Structure 1
Amino acid sequence: MNEPIRRLSLLAGLLVVALLVASTWIQALGAGSLNDRPGNQRTALANYGQERGQILIDGKPIARSVPVDDALRWQRQYPEAQTYAHLTGYYSFEYGAGGGLEGAANSLLSGTDDQLFYGRIADIIAGRKPTGASLELTIDARAQQAAVQALGGQRGAVVALDPSTGAILAMYSSPSYDPSPLVSHAEGVPQEAWKQLTGDESQPMVNRAIAGNLYPPGSVFKVVTAAAALESGDYEPDSELPGPAILDLPQTESDLPNSDKAPCGPGDQATLATAMQKSCNTTFGYLGMELGGDALREQASKFGFGDSLDIPMAVTPSTVPTELNEPQEAQAAVGQYDVRATPLQIAMMSAGVANDGVVMRPHLVEKVQGSDLSTISQARPEQLSRAVAPETARQLTEMMTSVVESGTGTQAAVPGTTVAGKTGTAQHAEGAAPHAWFTGFAPADNPKVAVAVVVESGGSAGSQASGGSVAGPISAAVMQAVLQ
């Protein structure tokens, strides 16, 4: 064989080897990434070719798949879509799975999760068509409906928790949206819906309860400041503290006033308990400077600030800034400056006080069920942290109870039970009406529910809003729904 033929044979051999290597890589090592590509129509069609698991509340579906007579074979339906949109999310041929449990628990709902391996084997042996797992949620339907009705068309969010387990009893974000057009098989409908939803300045697809641009918590954060003071051992509920009408802040020409421009008590003095009851900015601003930014941040972290949680949707961590100077410490102590929180975090704070100082890890899925309704996994209550000692929790409960009985939170009262709570009115933008907050728990002596409510920019009350008058009644409605 002459030299040119040998070279040509070698080149042909190398090309065959390269082809074998490339095909092996694509089929064995690169298959996963290719299957997961959003534009892979073959994978999408395969996923739509089998029944997806349901999302259930009290055994009733809030997301389910129904057979249809087209190439996709199945279509997702969302009964009570607006009420539960931020919990379900959407499962769309055009835009994939996202926005809630459809995205966060996609492997379970689609049937590909490792937890379902033996079930898939059993289906193959029995000749059954594979289906996804169903998720039974912790949501109390009455509490969710109460949150929807009480919040109305106002922007904001409501979260309710079981303090002893961390189970999420209600989670509603307003404005909501209908995911049904996104999952439509009609030509052009999903695209038009996506364009409208993503272009809406009110951001209806953002779950304000756990994500988005977090809120300054305002005076509901005073629970953290009071906890830090009591835990330090230097203060008691009856400790006398400065409470002038206006607190002169060092290093700045700006001062910190009380909302009513009046002193917190006679002689510009007030006890810690009175300051909580009246929500005195100057007393808590003074405490913030005395305790220091590190103490505030450490106490907040014990309630869950800074934690990266999933419920299983990802929760944006709440934050307390670092390296605060004295004026910033005073502002942070009343929930202003750069303190930011989700409503879920504020509900966790109240739940921690209610649960003798222990914060439970929040969760939304009570159990995972197979296609035969067998239980694959069951949620187990899990302690996240100890926020305060039991005695501190008891003292905070007494102070928060006085807020609702005779302080700024009287409109959060629930007939027939004792409510512990804290109001908040948070400044967030120059010239804008403040956000209205309320958080609390009930019954105060045997807590069954902890709630956090935020109404953006005062809602329908606008600049006249306060946390007690706007958010308080919403909290009361949700608590009442749970307790009844």
Structure 2
Amino acid sequence: MNAPLRRVAISVLVLFTLLIINVNIIQVVRSDELRSDERNTRVLAEEYDRERGSIIVNGNEIAVSVPTDDRLEYLRTYPQGPLYAAVTGYYSLVYGNTALERAENDVLSGEDSRLFVRRIADLFTGRDPAGGDVVTTLDPAVQEAAMAGLEGVTGAVVALDPSTGAILGMASTPTYDPALLSSHDPGAIRAYMEEITGTDGPDPRVNRAIENNYPPGSLFKVIVSAAALQEGYTPETVVPAPDELTLPQTSTKLRNFNNSRCDASQEQRLIDSLTISCNTAFAQLGIDLGEDKIRDMAAAFGLDDEKMEIPLVVAPSGVGDIESDAALGQTSIGQRDVRMTVLQAAMVAATVANDGVQMKPYLVDEVRAPDLTVIDETDPEELREPISAQIADQLTEMLISVVDRGSGRAARLPGMEVAGKTGTAQVRADVPDHNWFMGFAPADEPRIAVAVFVANGGGTGGDVSAPIARDVMAAFFEGRG
């Protein structure tokens, strides 16, 4: 063999070797990654020949596959689509799957290892394969009240069972109809996607309860209060509460909401400062406690967690950089770089409600095989204990005061004590403020904790978000007699 032929042969051999290596990488190393890629419509098309399992709320199917007469044997439908869209997501030929449709895809498609015995039985019996069902923790009354309260605004609501971490409600607006993204008509699917995302308005596919974080404003004062109580303060401790506070080493003056006065004496009890949400008192309190105490308490409540899955992926919350005492003062009233998801706010309230113990939030109660046999159940899991039961009791006393005689009056329920905290977070000069409320009820034996966020609501947490929280809690108790 002459030299040119030898070079050609070697080149061909190298190319074939690289091809074989690439095929093995694709088929072995990257097979799971490619199969789970939401853009892989080939896998989705194969799955349409199998009855996909249902997503269930209180015995009702909120995502269910029905037989068709067209080329794809099953059509994914959402009987109450917009109500639960933030939780179910969509299952689309064109755009893949999202939310629970994605997080629990292996169960719903029948590929989960826990359904292996069922798949083997199907093979031998000739029975059509089917996916398993996912039963959620959601309470329909809570979900309906949350979505009703958010009608016409951009925002989110999360409700938790404080003692278990079960998610009773998860609402996000604006919403959309996942059925219109899950049809068998690619042209109609693309047209609807363009309709809901082709404007400058907020993307309705975003679950604002967990995917975005926001400045919490005065909600953060609960964490600062916890840090103070841990350092020996009590609700009766008198703290400075000036009309304005010049931030250290600056000429910047921090003022109270609407330039209001917290107390004529320029000082007041800690419980009173939280009740009326005195900015100057908490900015000075945070500076006095120091960055480490504030940051440590925020981390104890989970604000520095990098990642959490419920099983939907939750964006992290955090305190951000604090480069000076002036920055610490602003941080201590929930401004500057502090960011919190709505779920995290609900977790803070639930932790206080649960005697200082924080439970891991979860959205899936159980998983069932196609024959309705339960193959997995979620056991409540303790995440951490940020504060003692004594401090939780003191915070509860302070939060009751907020609702009874302070900024949270609109969250009151007849015949029941409610504990809570309002928040109004500045965004920038030309944009309306964000409005928050978090709380729990009954205050003496909590059964539900709620966080409400309204983006750019333009009012205060007390007049915009607290009434929504009240209605959500009322719906919960009405459903239980």
- Please tell me the TM-score bracket, short chain as reference: over 0.9
Aligned partners of 1:399 and 1:13: how far apart in 2? 78
Determine the structure 2 residue equivalent to 1:259: 257
| 2:310–2:361 Cα contact (<8 Å) kept | yes
Change (3 A) 1:140 1:243: same
Change (3 A) 1:292 1:418: same
Bigger shift: residues 19-28 or 449-458: 19-28
Equivalent position SS for 1:453:
strand
| 1:210–1:315 Cα contact (<8 Å) kept | yes
Q: Which amino acid aligns with 1:367?
A: E
| 2:38–2:97 Cα contact (<8 Å) kept | no
Q: 1:197: Cα distance to partner?
A: 2.4
**Are 2:272 and 1:274 aligned?**
yes
| 1:293–1:322 Cα contact (<8 Å) kept | no
Q: Which amino acid aligns with 1:426?
A: A
Aligned-residue identity in percent? 46
Change (3 A) 1:29 1:302: closer
Q: Which amino acid aligns with 2:266?
A: D
Change (3 A) 1:142 1:136: same
Matches within 5 A, 1:120-199: 120-199=119-198
Q: Which amino acid aligns with 2:145?
A: A
Q: Deviations over 1:178-230 (max 9, x none)?
A: 11111111241111112222323221111111113x21101111100000110
| 2:93–2:186 Cα contact (<8 Å) kept | no
Determine the structure 1 residue equivalent to 2:475: 481
Q: Which amino acid aligns with 2:72?
A: L
Determine the structure 2 residue equivalent to 1:92: 92
Matches within 5 A, 1:24-173: 25=24, 32=32, 35=35, 42-98=42-98, 100-173=99-172
Equivalent position SS for 1:457:
coil
Q: Which amino acid aligns with 1:53?
A: G
Q: Which ranges of structure 2 fall in alignment gaps of 5 or more residues?
A: none
Bigger shift: residues 442-451 or 321-330: 321-330
Given candidates 464, 472, 482, the residue that maps to 2:466 is 472
Q: 1:114: Cα distance to partner?
A: 2.0
Aligned partners of 1:39 and 1:287: how far apart in 2? 51
Q: Deviations over 1:37-82 (max 9, x none)?
A: 6665543321111011100001101101111112221111011111
Q: Which amino acid aligns with 2:107?
A: L
Q: Which amino acid aligns with 1:84?
A: Y
Aligned partners of 1:310 and 1:12: how far apart in 2? 49
Equivalent position SS for 1:102:
helix
Bigger shift: residues 408-417 or 21-30: 21-30
| 1:293–1:324 Cα contact (<8 Å) kept | no
Matches within 5 A, 1:383-394: 383-394=382-393
What is the aligned residue count? 474
| 2:41–2:96 Cα contact (<8 Å) kept | no
Q: Deviations over 1:310-347 (max 9, x none)?
A: 11110001110133311111111111111011111000
Aligned partners of 1:276 and 1:53: how far apart in 2? 48
Q: Which amino acid aligns with 1:481?
A: A
Q: Deviations over 1:82-124 (max 9, x none)?
A: 11001000000111111x1011211121111222222222332
Determine the structure 2 residue equivalent to 1:239: 237
Q: 1:31: Cα distance to partner?
A: 5.1
Determine the structure 2 residue equivalent to 1:286: 284
Q: Deviations over 1:241-274 (max 9, x none)?
A: 1111111212222211111434322421101011
Q: Deviations over 1:444-473 (max 9, x none)?
A: 000000000111112xxx3xx111111111
Q: Which ranges of structure 1 fall in alignment gaps of 5 or more residues?
A: none
Q: Which amino acid aligns with 2:123?
A: I
Q: Deviations over 1:376-433 (max 9, x none)?
A: 1101110111111110000000010011111111111011210001111111121222
Equivalent position SS for 1:188:
helix
Q: CA RMSD in A?
A: 2.4
| 1:401–1:418 Cα contact (<8 Å) kept | yes
Determine the structure 2 residue equivalent to 1:361: 360
Aligned partners of 1:318 and 1:104: how far apart in 2? 21
Determine the structure 2 residue equivalent to 1:419: 418
Q: Deviations over 1:349-369 (max 9, x none)?
A: 000000000110000000011
Change (3 A) 1:3 1:206: closer
Determine the structure 1 residue equivalent to 2:314: 315
Change (3 A) 1:36 1:163: closer
Q: 1:143: Cα distance to partner?
A: 0.6
Determine the structure 2 residue equivalent to 1:299: 297
Aligned partners of 2:19 and 2:464: how far apart in 1? 69
Aligned partners of 1:455 and 1:13: how far apart in 2? 63
Q: TM-score, normalised by structure 2?
A: 0.93
Q: Which amino acid aligns with 2:176?
A: Y
Q: 1:23: Cα distance to partner?
A: 9.7
Bigger shift: residues 246-255 or 396-405: 246-255
Q: TM-score, normalised by structure 1?
A: 0.92
| 1:284–1:333 Cα contact (<8 Å) kept | yes
